[in-house]
Amino acid sequence: MQNKKTIITYGTYDMLHIGHMNLLERAKALGDYLIVGVTDENYDRSRGKLNVSQSTADRVKAIEALDFVDMVIVEKHKNQKAEDMVKYDVDIFAIGDDWVGAFDYLNEYTHVEYLPRTEGISSTKLRKENFDIIKMGIVGLGRDTQAFIDESGFVSSIKVNRIYANDFLELKAFTKEHKTIKYGHDNYDEFLDTSIEAVYIDTALEQHYTLIKRALEAGKHVLCENPLALDKGELKELLSLAKREKKLLLSALKTAFLPAFNQLLQELGTGVIGDIKEVRATRTSLYKEKDYADTFIQQGATNILSSYPSLLVNKILGKSKNITFFDQEEEGYDINNLIVTQHKNGALGISNVAIGMKSEGDAVISGTKGYAYIPAPWWLTKTFEFRFEDSHKSHTYKYEFEGCGLRYMIAEFSSLIQRGKRKSKMLSPSDMVGINRVLLEYNDSKKNKNKKEEEA
């Protein structure tokens, strides 16, 4: 790149249109060599941009196809612009004039040039013209129902206007209080027979399997609170049914979709802390202090909470070989459980879940070069640190976090439906099977134990 004037610019470039093309051509005209940074969808979501319709890979491919673009990179974090300007010896940073003043601080690294936008066209406008709003219904009046309604308001491609619950009086009171929910149903078949395309299920755990199955058979996409099933074979049956019906079935484990959590996984994938030997995660909650119904608490700590640490362990260490439980029971259900899983190359996953005691809800990922630390509550990941023997090498990552975190999950669910995709990279069917394996084996071991006690 010697003796060439290097230009760099950044953007999402969703549904590449003439406005993007004009801006990129104006940028190229400023010099000789044009570098285009395409914003990663995970980083976009961390900035509150929740309605991007195309994947990062598709958007990168579209920009690479432009003959006047010399190089394409992916923008993954907020400090990258300054780093890239130094790395590529950039002469001019070009950006649309709707950002006038916002990037003046980068004049420290290069000259900042604000370019005129093309009037009358935008990705937002094209999305409205090309994609229908996804009509969605809610199944149940659960702990997260109201939060889901509130958070879905930040995802413009989703509209929630129906709800099903088998308690008519509760349903009537809810729809009267929440004006955005226009229709209430106390008959599930009638609810599924409406124009909704997708459902969110937030009910008692033992109802999930039946409700999911009926929704899939009715041709609906399904987002359901975890666990999706409590008995062996049921989850694989549901996933097979979703595949046959060509519908999306996704577990509502919001941690899996948080921008910081996904950035953590990307960083770990670079080998920054070496070979990972152990993953420890704790998730506890004193539900009795929150006045939750006894029937919910009696599901036990493993059924209610183990999916969270299992997610972290499974995403980092992969499928487990052996699972050992160290549980304590009261009144017929486990109040806490220390779960140890063994993985390839001898790596260990150590998950601590409890509803009858309180512990520090942090997570530690230990490697041969250093370790990653996620402070409590780790399952609402906002910050993570890489720590090393030489403390000067340690560094911290901080990400924006809007609302209660559900909007990132809803955005992923919506974008997958719009793209015609049946699997999420953030939480694949194999991920869901691996996560559920822990609680399924625990439930199976309890059944066998109770059976032996009865026979004795």
Per-residue model confidence as pLDDT tens digits over 367-408 = 999 999 999 999 999 999 999 999 899 999 888 788 899 999
CB–CB of 7/35 below 8 Å?
yes
* Selection from 222, 226, 197 nearest residue 211 by Cα: 222
| Residue 292: predicted pLDDT | 61
| Residue 1: predicted pLDDT | 44
| 364 exposure class (CB count in 10 Å sphere: 0-12, 13-18, 19+) | middle
Cα separation, 373 vs 366, in Å, equals: 9
For 385, other C-beta atoms within 10 Å of its C-beta total: 15
**Interval 227-237 mean pLDDT:** 90
In a domain, 417, yes or no: no
In a domain, 298, yes or no: yes
| Residue 130: predicted pLDDT | 64
In a domain, 300, yes or no: yes
The string of DSSP codes covering 25-64 is: HHHHTTSSEEEEEEEPHHHHHHTT-----S-HHHHHHHHH
Residue 295 or residue 44, greater confidence: 44
Please report which helix (H) or strand (E) contains residue 436, including its range.
Answer: helix 429-455
CB within 8 Å of 87: residues ≥ 6 apart: none
pLDDT surpassing 60 at residue 199: yes
In a domain, 345, yes or no: yes
The dihedral built from the CA positions of residue 370, 372, 375 and 378, taken in this order, carries a sign that is: negative
Structural domain count, the chain: 3
Q: Which of 231, 254, 277 is the last residue of a domain?
A: 254
Q: Which of 372, 400, 428 is the last residue of a domain?
A: 400
Q: Which domain holds residue 235?
A: 132-254
Q: Are 68 and 144 found together in one domain?
A: no
| Residue 395: predicted pLDDT | 92
| 122 exposure class (CB count in 10 Å sphere: 0-12, 13-18, 19+) | middle
Q: Are 113 and 140 found together in one domain?
A: no
| Residue 278: predicted pLDDT | 98
Q: Are 250 and 280 found together in one domain?
A: no
Distance of alpha carbon 192 from its chain centroid, rounded? 26
| Residue 125: predicted pLDDT | 76
Q: Are 68 and 107 found together in one domain?
A: yes
Mean of pLDDT over the chain: 91
For 129, other C-beta atoms within 10 Å of its C-beta total: 8
CB–CB of 247/224 below 8 Å?
no
CB within 8 Å of 76: residues ≥ 6 apart: 40, 42, 43, 263, 266
Tokens in use for 72?
């394409």
CB–CB of 201/139 below 8 Å?
yes
Task: Indicate the range of 18-27, 94-103, 129-138 predicted with least confidence.
Answer: 129-138
β-bridge pairing 370-374 and 383-388: antiparallel
Q: Are 264 and 394 found together in one domain?
A: yes
Cα separation, 58 vs 6, in Å, equals: 25
Cα separation, 114 vs 97, in Å, equals: 5
Q: Which of 73, 104, 125 is the last residue of a domain?
A: 125
Cα separation, 278 vs 343, in Å, equals: 10
Q: Are 115 and 22 found together in one domain?
A: yes
Q: What are phi and psi of 204, to 5 degrees?
A: -60, 140
Q: Are 120 and 136 found together in one domain?
A: no
Tell me the percentage of the chain whose pLDDT exceeds 90.
71
Please report which helix (H) or strand (E) contains residue 74, including its range.
Answer: strand 71-75
Q: Are 34 and 67 found together in one domain?
A: yes
Strand partners for 339:
325, 351
User: What confidence tens digit (pLDDT) does each residue in 52-75 have?
Assistant: 888 899 999 999 999 999 999 999
Q: Are 144 and 204 found together in one domain?
A: yes
| Residue 430: predicted pLDDT | 93
Cα separation, 297 vs 301, in Å, equals: 8
Q: Are 274 and 373 found together in one domain?
A: yes
User: What confidence tens digit (pLDDT) does each residue in 419-452 have?
Assistant: 899 999 999 999 999 999 999 999 888 877 766 6
CB–CB of 377/361 below 8 Å?
yes
CATH of residue 349's domain is: 3.30.360.10
For 130, other C-beta atoms within 10 Å of its C-beta total: 10
In a domain, 453, yes or no: no
| Residue 434: predicted pLDDT | 92
The string of DSSP codes covering 5-17 is: -EEEEEE--TT--
| Residue 415: predicted pLDDT | 92
Q: Are 268 and 395 found together in one domain?
A: yes
**Interval 277-293 mean pLDDT:** 83
| Placement of tokens 């300007």 in the chain | 85
Highest mean pLDDT: which range of 114-128, 226-240, 264-278: 264-278
Q: How many residues does the chain have?
A: 456
Report the interhelical angle of 234-245 vs 208-217 (nearest 10°): 20
Tokens in use for 172?
């009537």
User: What confidence tens digit (pLDDT) does each residue in 120-179 have?
Assistant: 887 777 777 667 799 999 999 877 888 999 999 999 899 998 999 998 898 988 888 887
Cα separation, 360 vs 47, in Å, equals: 29
225-257 residues labelled b (16+ CB within 10 A) or e (exposed): bbbbbbeeebbeebbebbeebebbbbbbbbbbb
Per-residue pLDDT band at 454 (split at 50, 70, 90): low
User: What confidence tens digit (pLDDT) does each residue in 338-354 have?
Assistant: 999 999 989 999 999 99
In a domain, 409, yes or no: no
Q: What are phi and psi of 233, to 5 degrees?
A: 90, -25
In a domain, 214, yes or no: yes
In a domain, 160, yes or no: yes
pLDDT surpassing 80 at residue 318: yes
Q: Are 333 and 311 found together in one domain?
A: yes
Intra-chain end-to-end CA distance of the chain, in Å: 80
Q: What are phi and psi of 224, to 5 degrees?
A: -135, 140
CATH of residue 76's domain is: 3.40.50.620
CATH of residue 202's domain is: 3.40.50.720
